[in-house]
Amino acid sequence: MKIILASQSPRRVFLLTQMGVEFEQIPSDFEEYFDDTKSAEEVAKELGLGKANAVAENNPDDIVIGSDLIVVIDGKQIGKPESVEDAKVRLRALSGRTHELICSVAVVCKSKNYSKALSESSFVTVDDLSEDFIAEYAATGSTLDKAGGYAIEHPLMKPHIKKIEGRKDVIIGLPTDLVSELLKDFDIDVEPLDLENGITSDEGFYK
């Protein structure tokens, strides 16, 4: 039995590696969706389970981890930008405001009939962003693979993060406390990461 991360996210790979977990990476082809008739927590869990289940179908004896991150502002669920222009729209919406991020962790093991998902929230307050900054940051292209169109540790964005409430790993895309909790069901003991002082081992990872 091995552990599989059903994600192509380099940030999730980084966090899971920092936890000391040995795993293989098999990106899921499960299609993401949003549904504002449901809570963001419910949708995040559904998406995490969907991603894990899609990979577990061909790996029934393994422990498959899926995850999803949703940004919520004005009651609307937001995922990754579809273009640079879309990223600019999202950054304008976040400017000078506090928004919520909900991240799920789901674990599936078909042979053990195990399927469970948890979620956790954090809040980020962003400084007022000028049009020049928005254009400069969006032009980096690093906004396109991130929910909400930004990363808190990106060298350009980091100075504009005014306040964080909750765990940083939720915002980055993988709540390591939830990973630790779920893996305990398989007698796998790994400690969650403490990111209160920020990521220092690989700052360039967020560029």
pLDDT above 70: residue 141: yes
Q: Domain count for the chain, please give it.
A: 1
- Confirm if 28 and 6 have CB atoms less than 8 A apart: yes
**pLDDT per position as a tens digit, 15-70:** 999 999 999 999 999 988 888 899 999 999 999 999 999 999 999 999 999 999 99
| CA neighbor of 99 nearest in space, from 165, 168, 46 | 165
Q: Across the strands, what pairs with 126?
A: 161
Q: Residue 171 sits in which domain range?
A: 3-191
Where does the pLDDT of residue 142 fall: very low under 50, low under 70, confident under 90, or very high at 90 and above?
confident
DSSP assigned state of 31: P
In a domain, 178, yes or no: yes
Interval 163-175 mean pLDDT: 94
DSSP assigned state of 201: S
pTM over 0.85: yes
Report residue 53 as tokens. 């289940």
CATH code (residue 15): 3.90.950.10
Write down the catalytic residue from 62, 68, 127, 128. Answer: 68
Clarify whether 68 is annotated catalytic.
yes
Q: Across the strands, what pairs with 68?
A: 104
